[in-house]
Amino acid sequence: MSDVLVQSPAEKKPLIGKKERKLITDPLSDNNPVTIQVLGICSALAVTTQMKPTMVMALSVTAVIALSNLVISLMRNAIPSRIRIIVQLTVVSVLVILVDQILKAYMYDISKQLSVFVGLIITNCIVMGRLEAYAMGNKPFPSLLDGLGNGFGYGAVILTVAFVRELLGSGKVFGFKVVPDVLYQAGYVNNGLMMIPAGALFVVACYIWVQRSLAKHLEEKE
């Protein structure tokens, strides 16, 4: 780690400048794919009952967005525009199948919990959205950063949702019990609503509400 820091100050500046940093940080807040663009909601509702599978889902989606952005950006000048959507879809599908196969081989339990939702990353609007909106018109490195940023933005939201749902729905965080037994004996019960997808809608809505009241500039001017 340390020699990387020592040798690279000269090159580092142009590599991650202000513009590049914005590519990563923008999707985390002001241009979040889930809460601002309201894309990828389906999986945000489906996989967020527990934090551990949600974490894996977030990493899988990030890997798929970043790598497909990179690949498509590398090919962007060669792709015939008439078949560009189907080429994008092919690249995304290949990456998703790879992720699914790797999970099945090395994280079998979690892959069982995520079941069909890994395969459904193919239809996650964020992925295709970033390819069309960004990777088709930008250089590979910024495209990779844009993909990472959007993946992190997606991950931040679904992890927050999963945290609330797992805490209120099962009294746990990352599978560890945090609500003490005393509380249950005193009559506290887990919230069943949080275990069903409708519960996630409420959590996502509250997230958007909080985010918009904190950042007033996001409101559309009348």
Which residues, 6+ apart, have CB-to-CB distance to 28 below 8 Å?
Answer: 149, 152, 153, 156
Could you tell me which stretch among 5-13, 30-38, 105-113, 210-218 binds other proteins (CB under 8 A)?
105-113
Name the residue nearer to other proteins (CB basis): 24 or 59. 59
Cα separation, 143 vs 152, whole angstroms: 14
Cα separation, 69 vs 156, whole angstroms: 20
Per-residue x/- track, 54-93, other proteins (CB under 8 A) = -----------------------xxxxxxx--xx--xx-x
- By CB under 8 A, tell whether 185 contacts other proteins: no
Name the residue nearer to other proteins (CB basis): 63 or 145. 63
- By CB under 8 A, tell whether 108 contacts other proteins: yes
- By CB under 8 A, tell whether 189 contacts other proteins: no
DSSP class of residue 122 equals G
Sign of CA dihedral 108, 113, 95, 142: negative
In this chain, which of 24, 97, 159, 201 binds other proteins, going by CB under 8 A? 97
Least distance in angstroms from the C-beta of 66 to other proteins: 17
Tokens found for residue 36: 């601002």
- Whether 42 contacts 120, CB under 8 Å: yes
Cα separation, 23 vs 50, whole angstroms: 29
Contact set with other proteins (CB under 8 A): 77-83, 86-87, 90-91, 93-94, 97-98, 101-102, 104-106, 108, 115-116, 196
